[in-house]
């Protein structure tokens, strides 16, 4: 029973992380550079 609970918690954490990444991507934020400095909020490298 404990294994199922721990597994469910891990699945929930991963789902939350993926949902957060999708939300950030829709808002124009990204983990990696898109190569277009005009759209970059933190400046160009």
CA-wise closest residue to 39 among 31, 11, 13, 29: 29
* 28 pLDDT more than 60: yes
Tokens of 7: 């597994």
% of residues, the chain, pLDDT over 70: 60
- Residue 2 DSSP symbol: H
Look at residue 23 in the predicted model and tell me its pLDDT.
Answer: 85
State CA 15 to chain mean position distance: 10
Look at residue 11 in the predicted model and tell me its pLDDT.
Answer: 97
Residues 8-26 pLDDT 10s: 999 999 999 999 888 887 7
Look at residue 10 in the predicted model and tell me its pLDDT.
Answer: 98
Look at residue 24 in the predicted model and tell me its pLDDT.
Answer: 80
């Amino acid at each position: 029973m404990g294994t199922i609970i721990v597994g469910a918690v891990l699945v929930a954490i991963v789902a939350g992380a993926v949902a957060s990444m999708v939300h950030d991507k829709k808002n124009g934020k990204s983990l990696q550079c898109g190569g277009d400095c005009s759209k970059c909020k933190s400046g160009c490298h």
